[in-house]
Structure 1
């Protein structure tokens, strides 16, 4: 019975993934406009950020839309298919849970932020 349920949800994910990605592409907002100097400052500030994600995760899509809305250049790391990123997420953040934003400060300290709502609120506060 467990195998049937697991198979059902895998099939469901397989069927829904293209629709979720298409929906993301069609509904992603345009970036806010900034002066080139201000955008360069923000691009420099985002070099210490990385988003660990699964491509079709609805919460990751929510964060990617906020990143696009704010016009941020944040490195995206696939924790689903890349074993190195998956291991880094487990070691650094303590759990393989996405989305997770890795924030490195000037001293090299790392902070791992989970939860899409918290990530979006932090991004809006810092770069909005």
Structure 2
């Protein structure tokens, strides 16, 4: 199973949607709340180049945000990424 990491805030509706999709696929992920850990926002920005949440990484590769995650799902590419080692 792939290593999935999310940078989120609890009040972000896009974060909730992204987690809902991953949960529906029974995917385990590491969720970093940048609202509770502000220093992690800088880490997120350095890793992915974006300042908005969610920021999603699969196997250390920046995927982008919620829209990009759902685009991968619609294209039929998300399951292959999530099954990668």
Q: Same fold (TM over 0.5)?
A: yes
> Equivalents in 2 of 1:94, 1:80: separation in Å?
18
> Equivalents in 1 of 2:67, 2:45: separation in Å?
21
Q: Give the number of the structure whose residues are more often helix, by fraction.
A: 1
> Equivalents in 1 of 2:14, 2:72: separation in Å?
15
Shift of 1:72: 0.9
Report whether the alignment pairs 1:56 with 2:6: no
Stretches of structure 1 lacking an aligned partner (at least 5 in a row): 1-44, 105-109
Shift of 1:57: 0.3
Q: Give the greater-gyration-radius structure (CA).
A: 1
SS in 2 for 1:98: coil
Name the structure, 1 or 2, with higher relative contact order (CA <8 Å, separation 6+). 2
Report whether the alignment pairs 1:118 with 2:73: no
Q: Deviations over 1:13-53 (max 9, x none)?
A: xxxxxxxxxxxxxxxxxxxxxxxxxxxxxxxx13x220111
Aligned to 1:82: 37
Shift of 1:93: 1.2
Could you tell me whether the CA contact under 8 Å between 1:97 and 1:114 is conserved in 2?
no
SS in 1 for 2:63: strand
SS in 2 for 1:92: helix
Q: Give the number of the structure whose residues are more often strand, by fraction.
A: 2
Equivalent of 2:47 in 79, 92, 97: 92
Stretches of structure 2 lacking an aligned partner (at least 5 in a row): none
TM-score, normalised by the number of residues in structure 2: 0.74
